[in-house]
Amino acid sequence: MRNRLGRECLYVPSCRLGLYVALRHWCPPGARVLMSPVNDDVIFFVLLAAGLRPVQAPLRPEDGSIDMAAVPESVWRGLGAVLTTNLYGNPDPAPELRARCDQLGIPLIEDAAHAIGSQTAGQPVGSFGDVSVFSLSKHAGAKTGGFLTVADPALRAGLERARDEFLEPARLTAELAYGLRPYAEAGVRGLRLVGAARATLRLLGLEERQDIRMELRPGELKQALAAAPAPALEDFHSWIRVDMHDYRLRPGGLRLRRTGRLLRRLESRLEAHRAGALRLSATRWALPRPGRPVQPLFRVPLLVEDRDAAITALARHRMTTGYLYDPPLDAYAGEVFTDPSPAPEAAAWFARHALPVDPLRAEAAISVLTELGARPATPPSGATATQPPVRGDRGV
Ligand SMILES: Cc1ncc(COP(=O)(O)O)c(C=O)c1O
């Protein structure tokens, strides 16, 4: 990863913990941080845990990237940092954000969880920020781990100490569960018991998300935020661990060996993602984007009129749709916990219509959507983004 990005890298047990370490290092308590409202809610809670105030950005309706031109000057001037998302691997406008952050004297933090292998302006996503954080659970498929990469190599040792402060000691049971999980999952899939397994979890009250968004629990959240002298990671554990209870566990040998094996196959994995993304972006559910290179997307956000019907049809063919972020975070959490976007329409439209398709299942997904007669969604004119400046590969 150091060779790929040309920067020092540091292993973290999850991208969320890496982001927490980065936010704590780069942002003073109480700083306002511009972020995307179409994002995993876990990341929203990571910001709150770091003692920061999330500020929701306007987005471009075609890919959910940050629409810089729609951010009012007054909002820019109040910011202490910018956090990108690079949703599904589509890059945020990193060179322009870098320039703006430099002008304001604030850090740019890149969440590159979805964007291993994506490029913008001829450079890898993750090579623009003061710090960038990647997830190895996504493209690499390791279901654990991530890494943090820094522009200034002198900071690495200090960040390593900061990371270690938050690690929990390795546990044999967690390591065994990690080792056995792929076999257990394959067994459940092979026996066609996925639906039954989910229903059992629901019955036992063990399902963490009844809906796309986890339950907010505003009363408890207010209490966690009020903890003196400052909010602590422990107080936010129940929100941040969702979908990954081992997010701060020191890795054991088994985890690291499997991750290493998967990383050695990363190039071919990225090529397969790129081929699937190319195939899906030529369908009628993808907006034409001339002049943009095809990225090895983690998911391809097809835009469909009746997204729920498409999800149901895909599920009937044993394709689970994950990584849905609807409603946007400002609608989900409200003004008590976040500054709302000054122009929320495009984000709301994108969140409602984006169907994140796994490019490794491109052909199967296309057949299902064709059979269903899924209609493509077109952005309403009110939700059209402000045109970005033509620059590098972002030009149209
Ligand atoms: C945009 C985004 N950032 C960060 C994360 C967190 O990654 P990890 O699960 O490695 O902590 C996720 C998880 O899905 C994500 O979707």
**Cβ pair 110, 7 in contact under 8 A:** no
Residue type, 392: G
Residue that is written with structure tokens 């052909």 in the block: 363
Chain-centroid distance of CA 57 in Å reads 15
pLDDT per residue over 62-94, tens digit each?
999 999 999 999 999 999 999 999 999 999 999
Q: How confident is the model at residue 386 (pLDDT cuts 50, 70, 90)?
A: low
Question: Per-domain residue ranges for the chain?
Answer: 2-166, 265-394
Q: Report the C-alpha gap between 112 and 138 in whole angstroms.
A: 10
- Ligand 1 in reach of 14 Cβ (< 6 A): yes
The residue among 183 and 343 whose pLDDT is bigger is 343
Q: At what angle do helices 156-166 and 15-26 cross, to 10 degrees?
A: 120
Residue 186 has pLDDT above 80, yes or no: no
For the chain, the distance separating the N- and C-terminal CA atoms, rounded to the nearest angstrom, is 31
What is the position in ligand 1's atom list of the atom closest to the CA of 39? 1
What pTM was estimated for this model as a whole? 0.93
Ligand 1: nearest atom to the Cα of 145: 10
The fraction of the chain above a pLDDT of 70, given in percent, is: 95
CATH topology of domain 2-166: Aspartate Aminotransferase; domain 2 (3.40.640)
One-letter amino acid of 302: L
Ligand 1 center to 83 CA (angstroms): 13
Q: Does pLDDT of 342 surpass 80?
A: yes
The pLDDT of 126-143, averaged and rounded, is: 97
CA-nearest residue, atom 4 of ligand 1: 113
Mutate to test the pocket of ligand 1, among 35, 36, 40, 132 (most ligand atoms within 8 A of CB): 40
What pLDDT sits at residue 395?
A: 30
Is the fold of 2-166 the same as that of 265-394?
no
How far apart are the CA of 31 and the centre of ligand 1, in A? 22
Q: pLDDT tens for residues 224-280?
A: 999 877 889 999 999 999 999 999 999 999 999 999 999 999 999 999 999 999 999
Whether ligand 1 lies within 6 angstroms of the CB of 148 is answered as no
The minimum-distance atom of ligand 1 relative to the CA of 133 is: 4
**Residue with the nearest Cα to atom 16 of ligand 1?**
40
Is there an atom of ligand 1 within 6 Å of 303 CB?
Answer: no
Q: Which CATH architecture has domain 265-394?
A: Alpha-Beta Complex (3.90)
